[in-house]
Amino acid sequence: MHELDHYIYPHRILHWLVAGAVLLSLASGLMLGALGYERAVSLVGNTLTNLLYTSHKTLGMIILLLMTLRIITRLAFVVPDHDPPLHVLERLVSTSVHHLLYLALVIMPIIGWAATATGGFPVEFFHWHLPRFIGEHDALSEQLFMWHERLGWAIAVLVVLHVVGALFHWRIKRDNVMKRMSLFD
């Protein structure tokens, strides 16, 4: 494979780290959102519930950090051309999904951070408490958590579109799109 047929290796590693963190974050967020704090405590206990919340917040901060690094590598290095080139509709859908994913994965943790802070809850990264860059405000917290949830669903849809597109190129078109982000080529 030619050097310009794929993304630089650090960008590919960041892609797969973000993918894993997003899947874990979506799973934990959906579970915590469906159960709520009190029901989660009654099902799994206070310690595990708090661990789940801390893990979800930590994953959000990890995603924000990894996405910042992804944006830097995306801007600093050559983006490989599609070989063969994508059709106009494929390029439009691909570009739209990628840009929306990048935007959502940066905005989502920031909204989560703000929602948590305005709700008076600790903003955690592992066992460290991050600063609350905004004061407590219950009504604002409720609105931010609502948008956090809606954005989570939007990210889930974008992830499905991204995976379906990748599978389409891999199994149906059988072109080189999947090789661009592969860790093994």
* Spatial separation of the C-alpha atoms in residues 61 and 111, rounded to whole Å: 11
Pairing of strands 128-129, 124-125: antiparallel
pLDDT tens per residue across span 106-124: 999 999 999 999 999 999 9
What would the two tokens of residue 173 be? 């078109």
Give the confidence band of 1 by pLDDT, cuts at 50, 70, 90. Answer: very low
Task: Name residue 144's amino acid.
Answer: L
Provide the mean pLDDT of the chain: 94
pLDDT tens per residue across span 146-185: 999 999 999 999 999 999 999 999 999 988 888 888 888 6
pLDDT of residue 4: 61
- The domains of the chain are located at 3-180
3-state SS, residue 123: coil
Which CATH superfamily is 3-180 part of? Answer: Transmembrane di-heme cytochromes, Chain C (1.20.950.20)
What would the two tokens of residue 46 be? 């206070």
